[in-house]
Structure 1
Amino acid sequence: MNAPRTRVQRRPVHGVLLLDKPLGFSSNQALQKAKWLLRAEKAGHTGTLDPLATGVLPLCFGAATKFSQLHLDADKTYEAVARLGVKTSTGDAEGEVIAERPVQVSPEDLARVQAQFTGPIRQVPPMHSALKKDGKALYEYAREGIEIERAPRDVVIHTLALTRLDDTTVRIVASVSKGTYIRTLGEDIGEAMGCGAHLTSLRRTATGGFGQAQCVTIEALEAMSEDERMAQLLPAEALVDGHSRVTLAAEDAARFLSGLRRRGGWADAEAVAVFGTDPQAFLGTAHVSAGELIPGRLLNPIEIQQILLNAPQTEATP
């Protein structure tokens, strides 16, 4: 007879966990595992990685979930390996082989294709993606053998490096704008070389200002104590690191948190991170127009209090 499962006592957790997503996990499976390990009440991720992809997956907890959209829109960097000469139904190693062609790629071909796919390009989103048509994900149509017409998208490949590993494999390192599909990039590169291709591995090495060196694995989290797990969390304001900064005194901070605009000598700015002085706390985001600080996404007083209560205590200097 199986022993009854112990019910996890959830609690408010606020912050960002930089997870190195393991191979074979969906982004949601990785999120739920980390949420369980932290006993967190509320969590979300900042954009999905395929189960066959590994790497940087920022997970947001509590108040940080309010700012997750900022990293959905962030530039990202990937490393991938493409197998030349073989096309699959999904553009990666999970799909069925649908075409094979001989590979005759010279160093000049590699340089030409690298230049061709650097800068602004257009991509047709793959059928095996989470994009929705009439409320249904494209991959669901694909599983039913239905092909849906997709409009091309404008994306930007900021940097691209193609390195020949052997006769039939190429390493792809690409820094890209939001909305770029690396599987599609690999397929399009293969077509431009005249032989087709599919990805055999894919790793996200950076998103926004976060890199793989900052990440923790699920295995490492499992081996930690609860306090050690909590120490892995970055504060919610880590998601707005590139914003301009405005600090408000107590009275203005209270009014700002209630949604009221504040007037001051600030320069116009589209993205502002707002902090209070008493207590010293992150309040939320805003923008400045004509000297007015206009609230955007805000923490609530309970969230701020919970964050301050859980903040590491520093000893006073005698």
Structure 2
Amino acid sequence: MPTALAVTSDGHMLPPPDRQTPRAHVFRPPGDQPLELALAETQRLVNQHGHLVVVYPATLDKPFVHRLHTIRSVLESDRIALLPTRLPPLGTAVLVRQLRQLSLCDFSPGVLAAAARLLAHYVYAGALLNSVAKLDHVSVPLTAHAKSWMSRSQFAVLAAPGTQLVRLDANGAAGGGGSEASLAGPQFPTHLTVARGALNSEWVNGTLAAQWNVRGVQEAQLPGESARWWGTGKLIEFAAAIPDVSVLYQLVSSVRRDECHWCGLELIGDRCAFCAAPASYGPAPASRRAPGPQVATRQDATARPAAAGRGGSGLGGYRRASAGPPAAPHTRHAVVADPRGL
């Protein structure tokens, strides 16, 4: 049974890319669900799947965050991982969809949970806004605040993995410059997910998709919290990410795995996603070393390939096929990879 995944909003549940990809459980706010019912549902998930990974936005309301920690404490379970993310709402939904795809592979619960931090570096999330006057999550220059009050102003904003803001004119060109605006995009093939609010524009589907050389565009429903996160309801939110589960598998497999010295689970990165204990760097366990990653396909999701250890190709081969930069060598320590590091 694959590791269970959970979210805190229906907006973080995108349609699955295939029939095999499982859904994620949706936790309800404290005011919409009694604690006893939330405890019973969580216990059922843990009993059925063994481990539960909860991905929630770092901006989640405090009472909701307290509810999640209360559930974990009352159940006294070290098999529940609570993972906050700073991605925008649609970016969070895309990340969760990737984890849902990977849950069918042979990754242990600790590796799958830790992969959330790794994959977040490869999600390019932003929005097209009519105003940045109330945007708090991205640094906005004072001049941009002033220009938000001008009629027909639009702003292309990138919130992850880095931040960038470009003012557009009515034709989608950089305001005042007469040149086509450009946001820093991914250097590897992606699919673009687009969620429309109350803003009418084809800049995302047309100009941005062409600039980022995406391989496909998918429309999605705008998450309910997007208007609050971006400070306006007149927006079009977008997120570009790797759609292929085989590439995601290679990427996660290419990172060194260690064993948590506290709870004993496998981990990648600098700390355990379940108990938050820091990684103890040392020689990679011999059982974790493998010649290279094997990939679980959608056609045979239940056939678990052999576990892969350090030494996988990551995005190296994927980028070389796309005329991207060469892969960087692995470091000695377990790290969360930079988007340009593989």
**Same fold by TM-score greater than 0.5:** no
Higher strand share: 1
**TM, length-normalised to structure 2:** 0.32
Give the greater-gyration-radius structure (CA). 1
Indicate the structure whose relative CO is greater, using CA pairs within 8 Å and at least 6 residues apart. Answer: 1
